Amino acid sequence: MEALAIEKKRERNKELQEKILQLKKERNAIILAHYYQRPEIQEIADYLGDSFGLAQKAKTTDADVILFCGVHFMGESAKILNMDKTVLIPDERAGCPMADMVNVDGLRKLKAQHPNAKVVAYINTTAEIKAETDICCTSSNARAVIESIDAEEIIWIPDKNLGQYVQQFTDKKMIIWEGYCNTHDLLTVPDVEKLRAEHPDALFVAHPECRPEVWKIADYVGSTTGILKYCRESEHKKFIVATEEGVRYMLELESPDKEFIFASKFLVCPNMKVNNLKKLANALETMQPEIYLPEDVADRARASLERMLQVK
């Protein structure tokens, strides 16, 4: 019975994928998907990436329509960089709790308290926050962004775990906001130690959105793209992975001969998983939900994103 249900689901997914690809062609659309999306969405994406790679791709696409499969702030970033294009998201309820942990009034007060500081915003922020920011960053380029800034004092928002990770590599004073990723921050050292005891031959790789005590015991710490590259190029055959479980799709695709054990069954972002094939098809069919932004907010936010993309 279970096998039959799985087969029916596979057939339904295939039908929806074919419908989406046809609609994509008709709309001259591009499908951008984050690594944390469901596997069946990743399968049909034109481009898969982390926040930095997706921002780069959104900036350079010549498609008329961008269907962004991620969470809301990612769709906003694509719109900021492409105000003349239609940017769709499969479900506008796909938010980011971390992005909601920083607000404009609080940030403005902090800026007033530290008038000589530059504001660095993790890309996991709303357009309104980006508009108050000097430069954005992602986990892929956070260290390079910090070093590119001509200031000795940095206001870092909103992820305290990534902020503390970056702080190790700079002499600049960092004022770190108390935000965090609800998913990555769940992982504890005992979770990891238990798996290491069960799999002593495995390397432990962690995203810097994890708690400091977790990434401090990792064999490798890096962005999602960094973790993929490390595991792909490593001679090791077994890895304990501390990031969102959607990355399993690409890890196994790139390294089918290796074993990946996720560090907790709770490493699942419910917001990323809100999207599904039916919603993708509906978005391309109805051209909704569409991302809209005020021009003045987008213009100010764009400056911080453009500066990020210029950092090498």
CATH superfamily of the 184-262 domain: NadA-like (3.40.50.10800)
Could you tell me if 68 and 268 are in contact, meaning their C-beta atoms sit under 8 angstroms apart?
no
Q: Where are the beta strands (DSSP E) in 123-258?
A: 135-137, 153-157, 173-176, 203-206, 220-221, 238-242
pLDDT at 1: 61
- Distance, CA of 230 to CA of 207 (rounded, Å): 12
pLDDT at 93: 92
Q: Which amino acid is at 199?
A: H
- Distance, CA of 173 to CA of 155 (rounded, Å): 9
pLDDT at 55: 85
Are 99-181+295-310 and 184-262 equal in CATH topology? Answer: yes
Topology of the domain comprising 99-181+295-310: Rossmann fold (3.40.50)
* C-alpha to C-alpha distances, 270 to 45, 76, 144, nearest whole angstrom: 20, 19, 30
pLDDT at 124: 95
pLDDT tens for the 312 residues of the chain, in order: 677 777 888 889 999 999 999 999 999 999 999 999 999 999 999 999 998 889 889 989 999 999 999 999 999 999 999 999 999 999 999 999 999 999 999 999 999 999 999 999 999 999 999 999 999 999 999 999 999 999 999 999 999 999 999 999 999 999 999 999 999 999 999 999 999 999 999 999 999 999 999 999 999 999 999 999 999 999 999 999 999 999 999 999 999 999 999 999 999 999 999 999 999 999 999 999 999 999 999 999 999 999 999 997
Give the gyration radius of the chain's Cα atoms.
20
205 - beta bridge partners? 220, 241
What number of residues does the chain have?
A: 312
Q: For the chain, which residues make up each domain, given as ranges?
A: 2-94+272-286, 99-181+295-310, 184-262
Q: What is the model's pTM?
A: 0.94
Topology of the domain comprising 2-94+272-286: Rossmann fold (3.40.50)
